[in-house]
Structure 1
Amino acid sequence: MCDGEGWRRHADPFRHVAAGLDRRPRRHHLGGRALGGDVSIGAGASFTFDQTANVSYAGALSGTGDSVKDGLGTVVLTSDNSAFAGATSVNGGTLAAGAANAFSSASEFSVAAGATLDLAGTSQAIVGLTNAGTVGIAGSLGSKLTVSGDYVAEGRHCPHLAADPMLPQEISRRRPLKIYHSHE
């Protein structure tokens, strides 16, 4: 069932609030087109980007529910999402950073096989990463991904990171993968 704004509703209704969309313990999807308003995702709820087109999302995510990227297209997050503390799952296509703090430093990320988490030339910090897909680090030489908690490589014996193949080899070697172990 569609409401005319690109949202597919399931059995439960949703409501608009002044700052954007307020999510209660339900599941809602963004399909086909971009959305520009802030979204607060309540505990037990999920907000899903599910599209085949490449789109940008200019709103800010907040709350403790889950953010999900499905579909074959690319979603570029262009706002500061540091107020988001839920889990982020990239099940298909690409989730790309388009701004500082586009990926919340309070969020754990999982990337499924065939899916991509793309830094797109930015530096991002996250809590944890379970990676069976690809983490794209192409773009700016100074871009980096800081994982403050666990990094788990699934389905491979080593991390699968994609650098920019157009960079000269001597420049590519200046992007080392640094893995630190902390004793707690």
Structure 2
Amino acid sequence: MTVKISWNAPVVPGKSLAGIPLDITSDALVEALEHYRLKSASDIYQFESSPLLKRIETSLNDFVDEAYVFVLLDDSRIHKFNKGTYALGVALNNQKILEITAYNFSFPGDEVEGLVYRGRLPGGAKLGSKVSDLLAHTDLIFDDDEERFYTTEPYGLLRIDGQGVPLDHVANQYISAITLLQG
């Protein structure tokens, strides 16, 4: 299976994000990533339609034994409050993908807004859209401990980050991360 990683590929709940399928092995992911690695630098990648990204090391835990995390290579234009925010992350355990996350490292109107992952969810929501836009397509369950939203079936298992509070506390929240979870 050829994996085509694209900054424009849609989020397909239960299936893929940025063109990365949930059901591929670690070896298949490494092979796909290698296709996008710039030969001149071992930690610089450019996916289809993406800006230049740098792979960084991240800490692992009991649930994640392998991770691929990418940040914008040139973060000089990122607002100081968003510096260090990831662009894309893939967490694995036991050679299997656990989750794929796209992050919003911009604020509305920032000059880097156009550099974030542009894939859309069914119904059209994307990073930077209002969290409440998802309510036309799925219920959202707010997890008080994690301070995140989860979608319900049949939409697919997704974790949506907003401002860390329920919508009835702050209705105008923007999607800051979309995570496709292994069911």
Q: TM-score when scaled to structure 1? A: 0.26
Larger relative strand fraction: 1
Choose 1 or 2 for highest CA Rg.
1
Q: TM-score when scaled to structure 2? A: 0.26
